[in-house]
Amino acid sequence: MNEQHRATIRPVPEGVQRPLWSVIIPTYNCANYLRETLASVLAQDPGPEVMQIEVVDDCSTADDPAAVVAELGKGRVSFYQQPENVGYIRNYETCLQRSRGRWIHILHGDDCVREGFYRQMQQAFENNSELGAAFCRTIKMDEFSRWQEIEPLLEPESGILRNWLERIAVRQLISTVSIVVAREVYEKLGGFDRRFSCWAEDWEMWVRIAANYPVWYEAQPLAIRRRHSVSLSGDSRRTGKNMQDVRKAISIVQQYIPDRTARKLSRTASKNYGIHALSTARKYANSGDIVAALNQIREALRCSLSLTVVLSSFKLMVYLVYVAIALSLQRPAPNPPSQSL
């Protein structure tokens, strides 16, 4: 199970007062969005006896999250800052280790929750003691907090998901902002896998949980995820590193799936993400970024050599030739070489 790649999350010591909730907010250079994040939580605050609220900052260099916490939290929100930048997965580990509640919500410092999120999640856990996690539909917004789209329904009604492992093992279907996990689950399964550099550590975790626990789905869209034009994932997409992490995840999660279906689901996941990479490549091609498009095509073919992926890659390569020609025609002609006298 590669436990050496995961932090051990120890149980809360005996005698420590434990709230029901730990809302832990990891941040790094996002203080301008943190106000909105904190406001969305504090609007639903049931009090410190019920909910721990803490910001865990990965040694931000571009802003002052402590000032935002002091301004909005007014003593209600705790603040911890890493002494040096440790990277986002290690920062997640700190979030989990500092949590004291029965249920943990890792809420990125630029995302938000809507009214009713904690109430609905709590109801799911209290009515179904066997749950390992619960998540809801997610709304996607842009950098200016404008809603862009709402994720489609996975089920028409809220409830425990059937055959969830087979579904989550072939593609990522959960946004981190939308999911709450019982602390005892992290205590049993460990933290996020450190082998990932930029992508897929969350998907691997959700598959790991699905392999061991029932998971609840809340059909109401109660979480809001912010999408940025410039972000870590954006940089990783351009280089293709995101798909390298995805291929790593596919290999890891295959271990969690029963042998009778593991190979089939792994092939399906590889094809799904090959198609995903080509979709990303097409967007780069349309924007004229040929290098990024080629990187995604390369990773698509490394993911899957299915007929769909191979043919689509060929068509996209032909399209890239036309894009390259069009771009070259738009450039000013180079200066003619100087002639020696």
At residue 2, the pLDDT reads 53
In a domain, 339, yes or no: no
pLDDT band at 3 (very low <50, low <70, confident <90, very high): low
| Same domain assignment for residues 203 and 241 | no
The CATH number for 110's domain is 3.90.550.10
Q: How confident is the model at residue 1 (pLDDT cuts 50, 70, 90)?
A: very low
Whether residue 30 sits in one domain with residue 15: yes
Q: Which residues contact 62 (CB under 8 A, 6 or more apart)?
A: 29
Tokens 């498009």 sit on residue: 293
Alpha-carbon gap, residue 252 to 257, rounded angstroms? 10
Please name the helix (run of DSSP H) or strand (run of DSSP E) that holds residue 22, with its range, or none: strand 21-27
Is 237 found in the same domain as 100? Answer: no
128 in any annotated domain? yes
Same domain, 89 and 237: no
Q: Which two tokens stand for residue 71?
A: 């301004």
| pLDDT for 337 beyond 50 | no
Mean pLDDT of 220-238: 80
Same domain, 117 and 154: yes
Q: Are residues 298 and 265 in the same domain?
A: yes
User: Does residue 31 sit in the same domain as residue 108?
Assistant: yes
pLDDT of residue 274: 98
CA 112, 115, 117: angle at the middle one, nearest 5?
75
For the chain, the helix, strand and coil percentages under 3-state DSSP, each to the nearest 5: 45, 15, 35
Distance CA 165, CA 159 (A): 15
pLDDT at res. 273:
98
**Domain stop point among 226, 248, 277:** 226
pLDDT, residue 105, reads 99
Confidence of residue 59 (pLDDT cuts 50, 70, 90): very high
Describe the crossing of helices 241-253 and 259-286 by its angle, rounded to 10 degrees. 170
Please indicate, yes or no, whether residues 218 and 302 belong to a single structural domain of this protein.
no
Average pLDDT in the 326-341 region?
58
| Domain closes at, from 226, 247, 263 | 226
Residue 245: inside a domain, yes or no?
yes
CA gap 29, 185 in Å, rounded: 30
- Distance CA(191)–CA(206), nearest Å, equals 11
Q: Would residue 89 count as lying in a domain?
A: yes
Number of residues assigned to the chain: 341
The pLDDT of residue 332 is 59
Mean pLDDT of 304-323: 96
Q: How would you classify the pairing of strands 103-106 and 21-27?
A: parallel
Domain end call among 201, 226, 251: 226
Give dist(CA 276, CA 233) in Å, integer. 14
List strand residue ranges (DSSP E) for 183-322, in order: 215-226
State how far the Cα of 72 lies from the Cα of 174, in Å rounded to an integer.
Answer: 29
Q: How confident is the model at residue 333 (pLDDT cuts 50, 70, 90)?
A: very low
Please give the Cα distance from 41 to 213 (Å, whole number). Answer: 27
Shared-domain flag, residues 151 and 279: no
DSSP β-bridge partners for residue 151: none
Q: Which two tokens stand for residue 158?
A: 């809220």
pLDDT confidence of residue 68 = 98
Q: Tell me: do 23 and 160 sit in the same domain.
A: yes
Asked whether residue 335 is domain-assigned, the answer is no
pLDDT tens for 132-169 read 999 999 999 999 999 999 999 999 999 999 999 999 99
Residue 243 resides in a domain: yes
Backbone angles phi, psi at 51, to 5 degrees: -140, 125
What's the domain range around 240?
Answer: 233-329
The answer on 272 and 213 residing in a single domain is no
Task: Give the C-alpha separation, 52 to 33, whole Å.
Answer: 20
Q: Dihedral sign, CA of 150, 152, 158, 159?
A: negative
Q: How many domains does the chain have?
A: 2
In 3D space, the residue among 65, 59, 25 whose CA is nearest the CA of residue 41 turns out to be: 25
pLDDT given at position 267: 97
Q: Is 131 within the bounds of a domain?
A: yes
Residue 337 lies in a domain: no
Give yes or no: residues 251 and 298 share one domain: yes
Residue 341 in this model has a pLDDT that exceeds 60: no
Q: What is the pLDDT of residue 335?
A: 52
